[in-house]
Structure 1
């Protein structure tokens, strides 16, 4: 989590933007991200130079010798007016065109990027304060991004909202991406799932960059993301590049439309698709309607996952609780499709406070593998009750946290078979789920133990009340005597 000190420093920078006339939260995040990106490029080249010197090899440069003055460490020392000229006229145009490949996601979405900081004094203040942020730690940088995105306090028109970083991390840990995976988030936003998947791979694969084929795959063909907000696409592309992915495949695309022709392309889906959206049938890809005839985006995205995954491909997606128990034909048909024709592994029920203060919707994580030939024998359920943060609008750190337990139990399912329905996790057979109309709500199967409470007999309770009344009357009489009141 972002510390109080870092939060106050970020708030100070945010206030500089605000008082300077940039009041749209997404615009602030975008401009903030440009400068973080510029600083990150300088830090990345510094690391490349150190490694090259250590290994005795030629430096793979981001800035050529002629572009040295465009580096953060150089222009931050200039006067306010010189810094403004340098950043607005040279550095910003440089990052818009730096990728070289005109078809790359970064180049496409930076094409209409605008440098909005209006005055030299404002830029100098922002640069000075960003320079004080401790961003060498990747986790801190991720926390900073999450905190910035939390400033967007209202949900989007299609119901999308920010996925907390610790929930993203848990889902990635559950799915354990491999160096050969092809990973997609069809509602990518700031690319949080893709970034965390990349970080997981770095932490768990020593040979990731030592083997040329794996390195090339990581940088070019592993990560895919779609979104319909160009600002978020820019932020997502920069986020991916700052985390070491050279050519992220971030696309401006409505994932549910006919224009998305992806079919059996990916091996892993990590997603938190928009909830509560409703689309016209005419705008939805016909192939998705064959799987489930509906206008509801949360159901259509599940159909999309099934279509775009390769056989053997895995999915972990956040879904609203209504997907699990909805009684419409569309709800039942998509659940039946996953259970009967593919392999549903688990349902992790999350408390409604997970997405506060932005939304109070109850959600779950659905985990399945596309097989095309069934495979569901029993489904693992987990009743998550705590995620390490308070479940109110403040979301302060607390001791209670089920996340480590969820990850541990999921990766040791052989130890789960004898658990009772009264415990946090348990198995439910496919037959029982089928007999219940393919209902996947944990409350349908969880058993609650009630402790027997013994109460006193009514006559004892009444006598106790009489004693209390008598004591009250005695005290009232004493008080009146003390106040010299007539009794």
Structure 2
């Protein structure tokens, strides 16, 4: 977890940019992302060079022989602020945004072509580079935490329901779904591509065969990862994020996933998403088939209808939804839950505590895991888990604590055959479809969880009264003794 010292360094960068006159939080995040990308790109190159030397293999660097001074490890050592500024602005930044070439239709080249370097003062750039160089970005988890803290600077965060998904929650969801090398994965509201990055890391850690098979490797780099977003800055950040994690050409697009322009159907085998819960919605532009499935203006319900449409038969989804989806009483809420349960297979509902999204929001959420079926194959039973802790305090500070249900959730979900005998008083248990139908398709865990109260035996009233009487006599005696002593003085 990010420390106070690191937060202080980032706050210092923010103050420097703000003092310069750059007051747009999203612009500042974008500029800092470019610099972090330059640092990490050089780090990745150094690792590849070392591996090539160790294995005795040839290696062609991204940085040509005559452009080694573009690398972070050399750039940061320039003593003159003016020299550093001129080099970055006129040579390094243009080199970075054209890394994939002007003709290659990659996500990186497509969304980086409009990028602008907007740090305007040499002294500002030098000070920011000095601080970024001190940030511990070697560790991917720490890098993710640093980036999350940067995103928290967005004053408008949450106005469109785009709350940042904590990295450890993303990793847990990916571990629950266990993506395979053959999967085609999409996040229709991708933001900075957190789910796609985590899925790519899972692949590298668990599927070595991916890079030994030419066809699978090609699939990994070009067809496995898909994402949509309506913010061009986030698309640039997502493209850089994916490239840093070794995915050459993810299929990410500037697109309103809910609009009539999105014609995708039966295309993906895995959806990983935390779609917007609220915010503005152009109802007239929403795809008609989604409104046919669920007539509503609630984006969370429309996104669930979208997921069912774009999944292949047999495709799976793990998505975060606000608690209202689980128990909302509107016709749209009930119809969608009924569709999930009776026309598809709802596998699991993981209830999360409201503090998971702090300090950005205190909304209560749950993870829905479901499978799209090719026929009217009903759900037989649904697995529920009552998450009470995620390894961090549930207040705005989100400090590390010992209580953490995440490993237990992964262990239990990946061994569901051992869950059948659990009681409703446990953290997890199964509920049959018939019982959920009887409860108006309510999916809130409190509807089914049983709480075990410890029986407390109290003394009989006459015994309690007798004890009170004795205490009262003692108090009166002590008061009398005290008055006597005062009188003697």
Q: Which runs of 5+ in 2 are unaligned?
A: none
State the Cα distance separating 1:485 from its structure 2 match.
11
State the Cα distance separating 1:164 from its structure 2 match.
0.8
Could you say which residue in structure 2 is the equivalent of 1:11?
A: 11
Counterparts of 1:157 and 1:102, CA distance in 2: 35
Matches within 5 A, 1:332-343: 332-343=334-345
Counterparts of 1:56 and 1:316, CA distance in 2: 42
CA offset digits 1:320-371 (Å, max 9, x no partner): 1111111111111111111111111110111111111221111110001111
Per mean C-alpha deviation after superposition, the further-off stretch among 110-119 and 352-361 is: 110-119
Q: State yes or no: 1:401 paired with 2:404.
A: yes
Could you say which residue in structure 2 is the equivalent of 1:383?
A: 386
Per mean C-alpha deviation after superposition, the further-off stretch among 218-227 and 155-164 is: 155-164
Q: Cα gap change, 1:436/1:476 in structure 2, threshold over 3 Å: closer, same or farther?
A: same
Could you say which residue in structure 1 is the equivalent of 2:214?
A: 212
Matches within 5 A, 1:7-406: 7-78=7-78, 79-100=80-101, 101=103, 103-152=105-154, 154-277=156-279, 279-373=281-375, 374-406=377-409
CA offset digits 1:71-115 (Å, max 9, x no partner): 222222221100000111111122222221453322232233222
Counterparts of 2:171 and 2:8, CA distance in 1: 25
The Cα RMSD (Å) is 2.2
Q: Cα gap change, 1:484/1:126 in structure 2, threshold over 3 Å: closer, same or farther?
A: farther
State the Cα distance separating 1:223 from its structure 2 match.
0.9
State the Cα distance separating 1:400 from its structure 2 match.
1.0
Counterparts of 1:84 and 1:475, CA distance in 2: 83
Aligned partner of residue 47 in structure 1, secondary structure: helix
Per mean C-alpha deviation after superposition, the further-off stretch among 148-157 and 123-132 is: 148-157
Counterparts of 2:382 and 2:225, CA distance in 1: 29
Aligned partner of residue 369 in structure 2, secondary structure: strand
Counterparts of 1:451 and 1:281, CA distance in 2: 51
TM-score, normalised on structure 1?
Answer: 0.94
Counterparts of 2:213 and 2:51, CA distance in 1: 18
Aligned partner of residue 210 in structure 2, secondary structure: coil
Kindly indicate whether the alpha-carbon contact (under 8 Å) linking 1:154 and 1:358 is maintained by their aligned counterparts in 2.
Answer: no
Counterparts of 2:342 and 2:476, CA distance in 1: 72
Aligned partner of residue 381 in structure 1, secondary structure: strand
Q: Which of 399, 406, 414 is residue 417 of structure 2 equivalent to?
A: 414
Kindly indicate whether the alpha-carbon contact (under 8 Å) linking 2:158 and 2:360 is maintained by their aligned counterparts in 1.
Answer: no
Q: How many residues align?
A: 486
Q: Cα gap change, 1:92/1:473 in structure 2, threshold over 3 Å: closer, same or farther?
A: farther
Counterparts of 2:42 and 2:64, CA distance in 1: 12
State the Cα distance separating 1:446 from its structure 2 match.
1.0
State the Cα distance separating 1:23 from its structure 2 match.
3.6
Aligned partner of residue 347 in structure 1, secondary structure: strand
Kindly indicate whether the alpha-carbon contact (under 8 Å) linking 1:277 and 1:298 is maintained by their aligned counterparts in 2.
Answer: no
State the Cα distance separating 1:48 from its structure 2 match.
2.8
State the Cα distance separating 1:445 from its structure 2 match.
1.0
Per mean C-alpha deviation after superposition, the further-off stretch among 138-147 and 77-86 is: 138-147
Counterparts of 2:292 and 2:21, CA distance in 1: 49
Could you say which residue in structure 2 is the equivalent of 1:424?
A: 427
Counterparts of 2:174 and 2:464, CA distance in 1: 56
Counterparts of 2:430 and 2:367, CA distance in 1: 16
Kindly indicate whether the alpha-carbon contact (under 8 Å) linking 1:278 and 1:296 is maintained by their aligned counterparts in 2.
Answer: no
Aligned partner of residue 209 in structure 2, secondary structure: coil
State the Cα distance separating 1:233 from its structure 2 match.
1.5
